Amino acid sequence: MKKILFVCHGNICRSPMAEFVMKDLVAKAGREAEFYIESVATSTEEIGNPVYPPARRKLAEHGIGCAGGLSGNPRPTAIL
């Protein structure tokens, strides 16, 4: 399994957008079982907050959902 971890400061804009775009690309290719994709924050400022509304709207413009996306810090499973 290939693991992809997107990281940014708060994990409410850039890294979750990258996560959901990549998940969408992988799903469209029918290769979900081959990848573990996640995004995390380097800070604790936004922990537990949802994807920033303008980022959510931009994803929606492209038909990409981000339901359940909440900011979080790296977990051992995400890094290993």
- Candidates 1.20.140.10, 2.30.110.10, 3.40.50.2300, 3.40.50.970; correct CATH number of 2-79? 3.40.50.2300
Task: Indicate the length of the chain as a whole number.
Answer: 80
pLDDT the model gives residue 54: 95
DSSP assigned state of 50:
B
Residues 45 and 28: their CA atoms lie apart, in Å, by 33
- Token reading at 75: 């977990």
- Secondary element (H or E) of residue 25: helix 14-28
Tell me, yes or no, if the pTM score tops 0.75: yes
Helix (H) or strand (E) holding 24: helix 14-28
Write down the residue that tokens 């992809």 correspond to. Answer: 4
What are the pLDDT digits (tens) for 4-62? Answer: 999 999 999 999 999 999 999 999 999 999 999 999 988 888 888 899 999 999 999 99
